[in-house]
Structure 1
């Protein structure tokens, strides 16, 4: 008679096996449909993750249903390593994203972002020219500033200043407020010749829609603020996933013990 823990391990792994199929299919779809290098960047990791889940699920199903003790041991070992890695990543994500936030500006609906406000580890990732050139290309391909470009010159200055802009829009699509540029349109600003710029980003700004402030420190800071928010969400999801994995791991340990007991009984009737 198959014991309850073995059945439960098999059921849970059948569910994860079924989930791995759309993950793999999604990765293959990305590799064929992606139009930019940035979109294709995700296809291989997604496929690899899906195949990993598929193989681990198969090991759990065969090990529990067919009473293959060594395969179930491999399954539990991989699960244990995965739990440790998720715990480490979750702690790391909270530590790295602990610093940094946008600065509220008087009479503005958006915030300003400064690169120095974020953790040193994150700063190093975007200060590398090699890394930033790729990131900048992705930001340009994603057309994050397109909404502001579409507005053209129809948005009055006071209405623009009251707009709620995302961290990327504020950092990459307009000059910093302390540059004191004169507003013409959301992506067209005139330098005030009477006020010398106090921020290096002022010289990096261009009204060219392909340049804008993509080379600014504020753009890098806006990206880090966006990453911070996303990583915090991922960390919370990881905690939920960890609870699920620990439960599955505990049930798997019971199934492993059942397999050993059954094998011992068959060996010594």
Structure 2
């Protein structure tokens, strides 16, 4: 039993040490408010780092001091975190699985249309309150350099026949 506790303590110490750069990168992202894309990631990264820190500290202390109650709390929290990770993974897979691509005859690339994406993704991208953030994010990254000048709403962007995937 001592080997299992020592191994658990070592693994949780490593996880605790890994959570410090995760939390630090979230705090660093929070100090950079100039990019809309970064603003979407800053607090989830900080929360993830803190959760990993707390859960791994609980596991480390429980395994190092042989505290069964702390180990039970650690196992429950870890099971919840793994379950949440699986839910997010399945959600991301379901939402991004249809990629909206269509083969173009005689071309070496695919064309992309909004109708080919999942309904949830279409509704959230076309929604006018989300479009402002997405537009600012795309314009800041220079993915779409003409985005600041030509398109005010999401409908104008998606109804434009001038834009192909190669022009983005």
TM-score, normalising length: structure 1: 0.53
| Distance of aligned partners of 1:212 and 1:111 in 2 relative to their CA distance in 1, 3 Å threshold | farther
Equivalent positions of 1:98-113 (< 5 A) are: 98-113=97-112
Higher RCO (C-alpha under 8 Å, 6+ residues apart): 1
Q: From the CA coordinates, give the structure whose radius of gyration is larger.
A: 1
Equivalent positions of 1:208-219 (< 5 A) are: 210-212=148-150, 215-217=156-158
Q: Could you say which residue in structure 1 is the equivalent of 2:31?
A: 32
- Aligned-partner Cα distance in 1 for 2:99–2:36: 29
Q: Could you say which residue in structure 2 is the equivalent of 1:77?
A: 76
Q: Could you say which residue in structure 1 is the equivalent of 2:60?
A: 61
- Aligned-partner Cα distance in 2 for 1:212–1:115: 19
- Aligned-partner Cα distance in 1 for 2:86–2:19: 22
Q: Could you say which residue in structure 1 is the equivalent of 2:45?
A: 46
- Aligned-partner Cα distance in 2 for 1:31–1:83: 26
Backbone CA RMSD of aligned residues: 2.5
- Aligned-partner Cα distance in 2 for 1:110–1:21: 42
Shift of 1:86: 2.3
- Aligned-partner Cα distance in 1 for 2:36–2:92: 26
| Distance of aligned partners of 1:90 and 1:57 in 2 relative to their CA distance in 1, 3 Å threshold | same
Contact 1:115 1:218 in 2 (8 A): no
Q: Secondary structure at the match of 1:33?
A: coil
Contact 1:113 1:218 in 2 (8 A): no
- Aligned-partner Cα distance in 2 for 1:90–1:22: 23
Contact 2:36 2:133 in 1 (8 A): no
The gaps in structure 2 that reach 5 residues or longer are none
| Distance of aligned partners of 1:27 and 1:91 in 2 relative to their CA distance in 1, 3 Å threshold | closer
| Distance of aligned partners of 1:209 and 1:81 in 2 relative to their CA distance in 1, 3 Å threshold | closer
Cα distance per residue 1:69-113 (max 9 Å; x no partner): 211111110111122222223333333333233223345454321
Shift of 1:211: 3.0
1:141 and 2:140 correspond? yes
Q: Secondary structure at the match of 1:144?
A: coil
Shift of 1:55: 0.5
- Aligned-partner Cα distance in 1 for 2:33–2:109: 32
- Aligned-partner Cα distance in 2 for 1:97–1:32: 30
| Distance of aligned partners of 1:122 and 1:80 in 2 relative to their CA distance in 1, 3 Å threshold | same
Shift of 1:35: 2.2
